[in-house]
A and B are shown apart, each in its own frame.
Chain A
Amino acid sequence: MLDKNGIARRIAREVRDGYYVNLGIGIPTLVANFVRDDIQVEFQSENGVLGMGPFPYEGEEDPDLINAGKQTITTLPGASFFDSATSFAMIRGQHVDLTILGAMEVAENGDIANWKIPGKMVKGMGGAMDLVASAENIIVAMMHTNKAGESKLLNKCSLPLTGVACVRKIVTNMAVLEVSPDGFLLRERAPGVTVEDIKKATEGRLVVPSDVPEMQF
């Protein structure tokens, strides 16, 4: 079973040379820590920066320089700033190669819910609806089950949707899965996790090929 860093480490392997990548808040933000040094990647933050660098050293924080999670950041050589309309032109216009975001629920047809629990939690969708409606390449990073132990990979989402039939790939603490016409296609197992464990933790239709290899990092 992986922890949050493990999920981020596995997703980092999906990042290719020359990619522009948008990272959501939470586990997705950790992905930047595990991307190989020998490839060129630019991180976009939808509040208006391309070429995001690591957090600043103490004493060098700039209130005019934050990411979409409102955290202080730095920029790397080649970075640029732009307004919000231009930022979403990059996203909607499909100029961003890879979008990694968190989710509360994913359905077997690729529907995603991550912005609202009616009557309880309403934080808003931020840029998530624009991202999932436009991106060609979306990876969801999340735990396989919620705090109550219930599956987050469902036949159908129970929460209000963020986007329809848009998720392609899901990396959880237990598995790597792809959305296929027949349901969640099990691609990889996390170290120490069996196919039986994954079956038990998955409510949606699960397609299990004859060979499900353990994740490589």
Chain B
Amino acid sequence: MTWKGSISDTGDFVTWGEDPKRLADMIRKTVANAKEALEGVADGMTLMLGGFGLCGIPENAIAELVRLGVTDLTCISNNAGVDDFGLGLLLQKKQIRKMISSYVGENDEFERQMLSGELEVELTPQGTLAEKCRAAQAGIPAFYTPAGYGTEVAQGKETREFNGKMYVMEEAYKADFAFVKAWKGDEAGNLVFKGTARNFNPCMCGAAKITVAEVEELVPAGSLDPNQIHIPGIFVRRIFKGMRYEKRIEQRTVRQR
């Protein structure tokens, strides 16, 4: 992209040229709600969705996808939610044509649709799934991994030996939107995650054409310590404060006092 903007004497960012809207969009990332954040999502698109199980999933974006009723979606997400929460909500409405996941064990409706052939499923080793996102984020078209060599996952893929060990070539994902969930974010798009709700979210930032981050707490730029930022704002195009997080627990396990 050629440079089409400059900082004026008064410190404002001034744009010109044929695509001022995009630059303006890059600078002003904050949107009011999920509805604005999902502008442009259409039938047939490929979406990345962060989260592990129900931990750290973009609850607001998923609810908006259900409301929009977009169909024929390809969803890249480690899991497929449970029957009545997370991506399970989209499965119930038959909005998903193809799922790309590593583990789908917690969702009966998913298993039913997969075994009956209604839903196309691409099961991918978890580390490969993460790296295919990270590669897209980092501009790396493909990489070699030992995961899946000699199994049906490697069928039809290029394999190659390095230092006496066999590897499978895996390609970076190409997605239209990435929906991620962070704990805190600022108006510059910088993100901070909490606990194991981090999981796939950072890997998906900047890995699609448009990355939408929803956060529990949205603060003005300058409020977060730059030393503590997990994902720099450059990887995030739109950010909004999410509402009413349910944060459902899948397996509540406790010990006695």
Residues of A bordering B, CB below 8 Å: 45-49, 54-58, 60-73, 81-85, 87-88, 91-92, 115, 119, 122-130, 133-134, 160-164
In the complex, which residues of chain A have a beta carbon less than 8 angstroms from the beta carbon of B56?
A: 64
Which B residue's beta carbon lies closest to that of A162? Answer: B151
CB distance from B151 to the nearest CB of A (A): 5
Which A residue's beta carbon lies closest to that of B197? Answer: A64
Contact, CB under 8 Å: A123 / B104: yes
The interface residues of chain A, by DSSP majority, are classed as loop
CB distance from B236 to the nearest CB of A (A): 15
Which A residue's beta carbon lies closest to that of B152? Answer: A160
* Interface locus among B39-47, B66-74, B121-129, B171-179: B121-129
Q: From the candidates B53, B126, B255, name the one contacting A130 in the complex (CB within 8 A).
A: B126
Please measure, in the bound complex, the distance between the C-alpha atom of A123 and the C-alpha atom of B125, giving whole angstroms.
Answer: 12
In the complex, which residues of chain A have a beta carbon less than 8 angstroms from the beta carbon of B255?
A: 54-57
Contact, CB under 8 Å: A126 / B254: no
CB distance from A168 to the nearest CB of B (A): 16
Q: What are 6 A-B contacts defined by CB distance under 8 Å?
A: A57-B255, A65-B196, A92-B146, A161-B150, A162-B151, A163-B150
In the complex, which residues of chain B have a beta carbon less than 8 angstroms from the beta carbon of A125?
A: 102-103, 123, 125-126, 153
Q: With A63-B55, A91-B127 in contact, do A47 and B148 touch (Cβ < 8 Å)?
A: no
Please measure, in the bound complex, the distance between the C-alpha atom of A87 and the C-alpha atom of B147, giving whole angstroms.
Answer: 14
Contact, CB under 8 Å: A66 / B102: no
CB distance from B54 to the nearest CB of A (A): 7
Contact, CB under 8 Å: B199 / A47: yes
In the complex, which residues of chain A have a beta carbon less than 8 angstroms from the beta carbon of B249?
A: 61, 63, 66, 72
Q: CB of B228 within 8 A of chain A?
A: no
Q: CB of B257 within 8 A of chain A?
A: yes
Please measure, in the bound complex, the distance between the C-alpha atom of A81 and the C-alpha atom of B256, giving whole angstroms.
Answer: 26
Known: A122-B123, A124-B102, A129-B151. 9 other contacts (CB 8 A): A63-B54, A64-B183, A83-B130, A83-B202, A85-B134, A126-B103, A127-B126, A130-B126, A161-B150
In the complex, which residues of chain B have a beta carbon less than 8 angstroms from the beta carbon of A69?
A: 251
In the complex, which residues of chain A have a beta carbon less than 8 angstroms from the beta carbon of B64?
A: none
In the complex, which residues of chain A have a beta carbon less than 8 angstroms from the beta carbon of B114?
A: 122
Please measure, in the bound complex, the distance between the C-alpha atom of A125 and the C-alpha atom of B203, giving whole angstroms.
Answer: 20
Which of B55, B111, B115, B131 has the most C-beta atoms of chain A within 10 angstroms of its own C-beta?
B55
Contact, CB under 8 Å: A164 / B203: no
Please measure, in the bound complex, the distance between the C-alpha atom of A46 and the C-alpha atom of B199, giving whole angstroms.
Answer: 9
Contact, CB under 8 Å: B145 / A130: yes
In the complex, which residues of chain B have a beta carbon less than 8 angstroms from the beta carbon of A130?
A: 125-128, 145, 147
Contact, CB under 8 Å: A81 / B195: yes
CB distance from B53 to the nearest CB of A (A): 4
Which of A61, A64, A70 has the most C-beta atoms of chain B within 10 angstroms of its own C-beta?
A70
Q: From the candidates A46, A65, A122, name the one contacting B115 in the complex (CB within 8 A).
A: A122
In the complex, which residues of chain B have a beta carbon less than 8 angstroms from the beta carbon of A161?
A: 150-152
Contact, CB under 8 Å: A85 / B248: no
Please measure, in the bound complex, the distance between the C-alpha atom of A187 and the C-alpha atom of B129, giving whole angstroms.
Answer: 38
In the complex, which residues of chain B have a beta carbon less than 8 angstroms from the beta carbon of A129?
A: 125-128, 147-148, 151, 153
